[in-house]
Amino acid sequence: MSTDKVLFNLDSRGVATVTLNCPEKHNAFDDDIIAQLTALFDQIAQDNTIRVMVLASNGKSFSAGADLAWMKRMATYSYQENLSDANALAQMLKALNYLPQTTIAKIQGAAFGGAVGLTSCCDIALASHKASFCLSEVKLGLIPATISPYVVAAIGLKAARRYFQTAERFDVQKAQQIGLVDEVVELTELDASVEQMISTLLANGPHAVKAAKQLAFDVADKEIDNELVNDTCERIAAIRVGEEGQEGLTSFFEKRQAAWLDNTNASIPANNTKG
C-alpha cells in the first residue's frame, strides 16, 4: 500500500517501513495523513508476518508537526468539529503506541509538536546528530494535549512540565538525556544504526518479543502485590512450556541456531538470560 504522502514497504524479513513523504512541507501532517497512518498501523497490527516497523520520513526534517493549512482550517472549526479532529489524531497515536510489533522511530532532523508524540509512541528512537525537538504548541496559544500521555511517559513529568510550558527547542543530546531518544549517531550512520537494531530484534523469539512489549505495558506503575507477582509467574511458566520457549531453550543447550533465525539474516546473540 502506498500513497504520495505516506509510503509503505514490507521486506522479506517481516520489517515494515512507514515513511512520511512530504519533504517540501517538512513532513507536516494533516487530517488526511493522520487517516492514512491510522489505517496503516491498524493493518500492521493485524499482520502476524510483520515483526518490526520503522517509522521514517523523507527529506531534511523528520516532521514539523501539524500542517499549517490544516491548522488554519481547524481555527474555523466549532468545538464539536475540533473535538472530532482531535480524536482522530488521538486514535492514530494510540494505534502506534500499542502496536504489538516493535516500533523504531528513525529521526534524521527536526521533530516538532506532534512529531514529538510520534517519537514518544515508538519503542525505540534512533536519531542523527542533526535532530532537534520542540513542543511548540504554547507559542500558538495551544497545548500538546493528545500527545501528552505518551510524551510524559517518555520524558517524565519534570521534563514535560518544563518543555510543555517553554516551547524551547532542544537538541538531540538533551533529547537523549531526558529519555526521548535512545541512541544518537552521525547522519551518515543512521541507516546502519537502524539496520543493526533490526538485526538485534530479529535474533530474538518473535512471540517472546511481542509478549515482552506487552509485559512492559502491563506491569508499569503497578503495585507489586500478590496479584502482580502471580501474573508474572504465570506468564513465564506459560512461555517456558510453549513451542517457542521450548525451541529457544533447547537450541541454546544444544548450541545450535534457533528455528526462528532460519529466515533472517540476524546473528545469533549471546543468551544468558533466565527470565
CATH number at residue 257: 1.10.12
Residue 150: predicted pLDDT: 98
Residue position matching grid coordinates 545450535: 256
Q: Is the same domain home to 79 and 156?
A: yes
Query: Domain end: 152, 182, 200, which one?
Result: 200
Q: Domain residues for 193? A: 6-200
Residue range 118-130, pLDDT digits in tens: 999 999 999 999 9
Is 162 part of any domain? yes
- Looking at the structure, do residues 104 and 76 belong to the same domain, yes or no? yes
Q: Are residues 46 and 91 in the same domain?
A: yes
Domain match, 33 and 63 both: yes
Report how many domains make up the chain: 2
Q: Please tell me whether residues 59 and 91 are part of one structural domain.
A: yes
- What is the average pLDDT across 234-259? 92
Query: In this structure, is residue 257 part of a structural domain?
Result: yes
Asked if residue 1 is part of any domain, the answer here is no
Range name among 53-62, 166-175, 236-245 with the lowest pLDDT average: 236-245
Ranges assigned E (strand) in 41-163? 52-57, 102-107, 110-112, 124-128, 132-134
> What is the tens place of the pLDDT at every residue in 151-207?
999 999 999 999 999 999 999 999 999 999 999 999 999 999 999 999 999 999 999
- Out of 155, 172, 200, a domain closes at 200
- Residue 68: its pLDDT value, please? 85
Closest CA to 257 of 200, 197, 198, 204: 204
**Average of per-residue pLDDT across 231-255:** 92
Q: Are residues 183 and 210 in the same domain?
A: no
- pLDDT class of 268 with cuts at 50, 70, 90: very low
Query: Within this chain, do residues 160 and 215 fall inside the same structural domain, yes or no?
Result: no
pLDDT at site 73: 87
pLDDT at residue 270 tops 90: no
Model pTM score:
0.91
Question: Is 15 in the same domain as 49?
Answer: yes
Task: Indicate whether 170 belongs to any domain.
Answer: yes
The pLDDT confidence band at residue 91, using thresholds 50, 70 and 90, is: very high
CA–CA dist 70, 38 (Å, integer): 17
Q: Residue 274 has what pLDDT?
A: 38
The pLDDT, as a whole number, for residue 262 is 75
Read off the pLDDT band of 275 (50, 70, 90).
very low
* Cα gap 204→65, rounded to integer Å: 34
Residues 44 and 178 in one domain: yes
Q: Quick check: 10 and 50 in contact, CB under 8 A?
A: yes
The residue-averaged pLDDT of 139-147 equals: 95
CB-based contact 64:112 (threshold 8 Å)? yes
Question: Is 274 inside a domain boundary?
Answer: no
Q: Tell me: do 140 and 57 sit in the same domain.
A: yes
Does the pLDDT value for residue 212 go beyond 80?
yes
Question: Is beta strand 132-134 parallel, antiparallel or unpaired with respect to 169-171?
Answer: antiparallel
Q: Are residues 70 and 175 in the same domain?
A: yes
Taking only Cα atoms into account, the Rg of the chain, rounded to an integer number of angstroms, comes to: 20
Q: Using pLDDT thresholds of 50, 70 and 90, give the confidence band for residue 75.
A: confident
Q: Do residues 224 and 98 share a domain?
A: no
> What stretch of H or E contains 70?
helix 68-74
Q: Which helix (H) or strand (E) holds 9?
A: strand 6-10
Nearest to 264 by CA among 180, 213, 217, 195: 195
- Strand 102-107 versus strand 124-128 pairing type: parallel
Domain boundary residue, one of 200, 223, 240: 200
Answer yes or no: is pLDDT of 85 > 60: yes
> Is a pLDDT exceeding 70 seen at residue 146?
yes
